[in-house]
Structure 1
Amino acid sequence: MAIAKSAEEFGLGNLYAWGDNFAGQLGLGDKTDRSSRTQVGTFNDWQRVSVGPNHSCAVRRDSLWCSGMNNYGQLGLGDNTQRTTLTQVGISTTWAAIAVGETHTCATRASGTLYCWGRNNTGQLGLGDTVNRNTPVQVGTASDWVALTAGFEYTCGIRHDRTLWCWGRNTSYQLGLGDNVNRNVPTRAGTAAWADIAASYTHTCGARTDQTLWCWGENTYGQLGQGDNVDRTNPTEVGTGADWASVAAGRLHTCATRLKGTLWCWGRNANGQLGLGDTTDRNSPMQVGTATLWATVSAGRAHTCGVRVGNNVSCWGGNADGQLGLGDTTPRNTPTVVPGLKARPMRTGSNSFSNLSVG
């Protein structure tokens, strides 16, 4: 699935979606896949969006909306009924960052408080138990959450003091706590100061405030960028560079931008999701082409999309469900511009962009 927002002034704009739609996750009122960008509804005040494999959520200027699979209450609507159109979650008008995982959702409000809902079998909601929730429930009492990311049955967030906290599934060391024990409440990961964080299936990557890049968890396909295929139980630095700007973690691959605007990818590449012109896996960062104007990047199961300065959106990788938005189902192994789509590259929280999110 891919979903993007065409932003107008002040970061508000129309919402567009394309790709796999078997559960109605595109919010278009049906379950028909789309291979080209399709506008979602008629509202033009969308601010940010986050998608998972089976459901998606988006924030308007004054409300939160979700659609798709809802078997665990991950839409936050108080039931387990699937929705094919974006449906408003509660009545709050103060939602900020949003992070959609495999079967759960978390979001912050303008006050800095954190809420989670959906499946909770490994404690991914951070509520101190493993009971599912079908409406938003506040996580703890902290009111200083500034960034958020959700992966496969786990969640990580950054607080105002730049400390990193993770919780949920930890069987592949993805929480970065030095062990493989699940946690059902937010648990601090180390003492470093973090600027950006990206959760995935079984690995996590983040950029620190000193602009170094770190990854941990499963490394079967080299997705940690360490030059090998050895798992890591704690955050481990990727190379020696101190110029990383943002990072996105796909199911088994990772991509990141550097301060000069270059784009780098590594890990699984069976579908060309690294954008390197082939389908060969890489276990260390490789520059994608020679372009130097990449602003943001988002990674999904087997495809990737990015925004370059000038607001052009490009996608590459697997395309069986039309998730590249190119009007066909042909895979691409190099970045290819999505026709007719512009997107403002505004950051709105870790692994979530106001303009672009892929699942």
Structure 2
Amino acid sequence: MTVPITLDDLPIRDDLRGRSPYGAPQLDVAVRLNTNENSFPVPERVVEAIATAVGAQLRQLNRYPDRDAVALRIDLAGYLGHDLTAAGVWAANGSNEVQQQLLQVFAGPGRVALGFTPAYSMHPLLALGTGTRWIDGRRGPDFALTATDAAAQVAADQPDLVFLCSPNNPTGTALDPAVITAVLDAAPGIVVVDEAYAEFARAGTPSALTLLSAHPRLVVTRTMSKAFGFAGGRLGYLAAHPAVVDAVQLVRLPYHLSALTQAAARAALAHRDALLGSVRVIMEQRDRIVADLRRLGLTVADSDANFVLFAVGGDQRRVWRALLERGVLVRDVGLTGWLRVTAGTPEETDAFLAAMTELAALTEPAR
């Protein structure tokens, strides 16, 4: 008979006690707009290409995969451009693993990481998991981050690693490159720009990739989960100076990226035009959500991502539950009075906006 114990009975680390795992609710509802997935399924011809590529690896599963994923890194460098080569690109199982590896090698016990909240909530959890002390940086009342303020905070705290998000999650706003440059000038260590949603940025929004050649301590992380609709494939990557890639390999697990993942990701990259074809439609739905919510009198953050942060006033949990009762699942990101909705298909947008119009009486524009 199994001895009845609970998590509290186990000798886990003291700094993990009382904490909950990261994760959004996984509920079976008609319209799921809470995890910023690409709502469009993988096109059939891409499915066939991925199946063929993965199938070719099956008879060799008795052998370890390419430990360094060189062919995949060559393909990723070709996709990113900016004169990158495989030496300046690294891939792992989602950008979360990439960022964890960066913390393992450049932060860890006795070191400090800083991020400007609200931002991606996994960053402090990754810091916790690697024994890194976390500092919450401040944003302005409108979630803005200026070059002067960001640099002053970095200069004061002297973190070993700084996280920036552009576009930022959950606000959706992209950073002015001047902010990134100011932080690089003030930071003593590594600066990581999380560009998970870069493909959705509005026209003219520059990527931090443009700064790489002049800043060897800059790292740009990306993912195939969002724009590529490859969330189930779990493929994230970084672009940086080759020396940074060498450093990350000091802590990567051996053969961390399976042969099947590498093959599937390469096939997806080879058909990127088909996969990225949904990006324009998603951006149109995002802009439609922003415009229609503002017509309802709500305060809405400008977005360069595939989601929208909007104010509902008062208790956001009440509106979250009311939307769920109408078959629409959005995200409560823990910001009082605010909710986040993913931009999905036109039909999903119809359902969300219809529900919000019906609930307009329950919401109060933020003051």
Question: Which structure has the larger Rg over C-alpha atoms?
Answer: 2
Structure having the higher strand fraction is: 1
Q: After TM superposition, is the score higher than 0.5?
A: no
Please report the TM-score for the alignment, with normalisation by the length of structure 1.
Answer: 0.27
Structure having the higher helix fraction is: 2
Please report the TM-score for the alignment, with normalisation by the length of structure 2.
Answer: 0.26
